[in-house]
Homo-oligomer: A and B are copies of this chain.
C-alpha cells in the first residue's frame, strides 16, 4: 500500500505528480531552493488546465528533514539528477525509487547511491509552470512504468494504479525499454534540431520534398538511433519517425524543452538525451555521425554563452569571409 510519496524536483512534471497524488497520498516535496519549499508549505500547490487541484504538500530543501516515504519519484532535470540521488543516499532503503527523466541511464545513476528497488518511467505529459506554486496541465498523455533490474512487476503495477487513482494516466509495462528507447530516439532527433534552428516541432521536421528539407536530417537521426536500438537488442515500442510525423501534424506546434533551454541560455539536457545514445552507440559499435554532430553543436552553443558581449565585440568583424 502506497501512502507516502516524496517528489524529488518540483519542475513541471514533478509538480503535476505532486499536485495530483496529494489527493490520494501524503505528498512530500524535496526542492532545490529554500524559497520554493517555503512557498509550497505556505500556499500549497495549484494545478489548472486539464484538471483542477489545490494540494497540501510538505516541502523542504533539506534532505535530512524528509519524513519517511514509500515511494520517491525523481523528476529532476538531467543536471539535477546526481545531486538529487546523492541527497537520498542512506535514506529509507525500503522505499521504491521511480525515475522519470528524459533519455536513458537515470536508473544507473540512482543505483550508485542506494539499493532501493527502482521503477523506470517515461512520461508524455506536459505542462507550463506559471509560478513556484502553480502549474498548468496541458497534455494529459500517459506515463509508462516498468521494472528496473529485479524490481517485482507487482510493485510497478501498484504504483501505476496509484497514479491512475489520483487522476493521471499511467500504464505498467513488463519491459519499459522499448518505449523508453522510442522516446529517446524521438527526443534525440527532435530536441537538438529544434534547439539549433529555433523552430518549434512543426511540419519542417517531417518535410522531405526538397533535398535540403529538414525532414531528411530528422529522418537520418532517427535511422541512426534505430540502428543503435537494434544493436542493443531493443525492439522499439513505437517508430520514432512515425511519432515525429504524427506530432508535426497536430494543430499547434510543440515547443521542445531543449529549445526553451537554449532560448533561456540554460544548460541543456543534451548529455542525457543525445549523450546516452552516443554511449550506447559506442558500446555497440554503431556509427552515429549525425547525433555526434548535433551533440557537438549544442555543446558549442552552451560554450558561446560563456563569452559575454564584451568578448564578442572584441572579435574581429568581417566582410567577405
Question: A interface vs B, CB < 8 Å?
Answer: 11-13, 16, 75, 100, 102, 123-129, 135, 138-139, 187, 191, 193, 196-200, 202, 204, 211-214, 216-217, 220, 252-257, 260, 275, 278, 289-290, 292-297, 299-301, 303-305, 307, 312, 314-321
Residues of B within 8 A of A305 (CB): 198
For A297, list chain B residues within 8 Å (CB): 193, 196-197, 214, 217, 297
Q: List 12 A-B contacts (CB under 8 A).
A: A75-B320, A126-B316, A128-B319, A135-B319, A138-B316, A139-B318, A198-B305, A212-B275, A212-B296, A212-B299, A255-B312, A293-B293
Residue of B nearest to A253 (CB): B315
Q: For the complex, what is the distance from the CA of A305 to the CA of B204, rounded to whole Å?
A: 13
Known A-B contacts A102-B321, A199-B304, A321-B187; A220 and B255 likewise in contact (beta carbons under 8 Å): no
Assuming the A-B contacts A124-B321, A197-B300, are A316 and B254 also in contact, with contact meaning beta carbons closer than 8 angstroms in the complex?
A: yes
Residue of chain B at shortest CB distance from A210: B299
Contacts of A202 in B (CB 8 A): 307
- Most chain B beta-carbon contacts within 10 A, residue among A187, A212, A290: A212
- One complex includes copies of this chain to the number of 2
A286 to B: closest C-beta gap in Å: 15
Pick the contact of A321 from B16, B126, B216, B304 — CB < 8 Å? B126
- Among A196, A213, A292, the one with the most B-chain Cβ atoms within 10 Å of its Cβ is A196
Contact call B187/A312, Cβ cutoff below 8 A: no
A318 and B138 form a contact (CB under 8 A): yes
What's the Cα separation between A139 and B275 when bound, in Å? 40
Measured CB to CB, the nearest residue on chain B to A302 is: B197
With A102-B320, A320-B126 given, is the CB distance from A252 to B214 under 8 Å? no
Contact A213 B296, CB 8 Å, known A200-B312, A315-B253, A318-B254: yes
A321 to B256, Cβ gap below 8 A? yes
Given contacts A204-B303, A212-B296, A297-B193, contact A123 B316 (CB under 8 A): no
From the candidates B211, B304, B314, name the one contacting A198 in the complex (CB within 8 A): B304
User: How far apart are the CA atoms of A223 and B128 in the complex, in Å?
Assistant: 44
B217 touches A12 (CB 8 A): no
Q: Is the beta-carbon distance between B290 and A293 smaller than 8 angstroms?
A: yes
Q: How many Å lie between the Cα of A275 and that of B210 in the bound state? A: 13
Q: What's the minimum C-beta distance from A309 to chain B, rounded to whole angstroms?
A: 12
